[in-house]
Amino acid sequence: MSTPENREQWQQMADSLSINGQAFIDGEYCAAASSDTFDCISPVDGKVLVKVASCNEADANIAVANAREVFDRGDWSQMPPVKRKQVMIRFAELLEANMDELALLETLDMGKPIRYSRTVDVAGRRERSAGQGKLSIRFMTRLHPRLIMRLA
C-alpha cells in the first residue's frame, strides 16, 4: 500500500482502522482484570477512538510475573547477540512496513501532525531499533574472545 498523499486518503485509512483497546499480556490480548475501560478520545476530532482496558495493579502484577518468567527462561536474556541483532533488525523492518498505520495511530491518539508522526516518531523508532541490533554486535566484539564463544 502506498503512502496516502492527502487528507482524504489519510481519512480513508483512519476509517478502515481496527484498533484493539485490550491489554496485551503474555502474548495475548485480554480485558483488564477489573473489566473496566476508558474512552480514548482523539484530540483531532473529539471522537472516541476505542475503549481501552483500564489496567490496574493486578494487571501490572500479571504482566511483571510473565515478564520475569520469560526473562528467567532465557528467551531474550540468554539469546546470542547475533540472534538478538536479527530480532531487532526484523522489528525495524516491521516498523518500516507498517509506518503509515503506526504514524496515523500516533496522530489520532496524540493530535500530532501526520508528517511529524511519520518522519520523526515512527522513523526514529525504526532507526533506533535497527541501530540497537547493530550496536549489540559492536559491543560484543570488544569483549574477550572466550566470552564471545560462550555467548554465541
Distances (CA, A) of 12 to 21, 104, 122: 21, 11, 20
3: Cβ–Cβ under 8 A, 6 or more apart, which residues?
100, 118
Q: What is the pTM of this model?
A: 0.74
Q: At residue 89, what is the residue type? A: I
Q: What is the pLDDT of residues 97-132, one digit of tens each?
A: 888 998 899 999 999 999 888 887 776 666 666 666
What is the model's pLDDT at position 136? 53
Q: What is the pLDDT of residues 108-117, one digit of tens each?
A: 999 999 988 8
Classify residue 9: in a domain, yes or no. no
Classify residue 91: in a domain, yes or no. yes
Domain that holds residue 63: 14-74
70 and 83 inside one domain: no
67 and 132 inside one domain: no
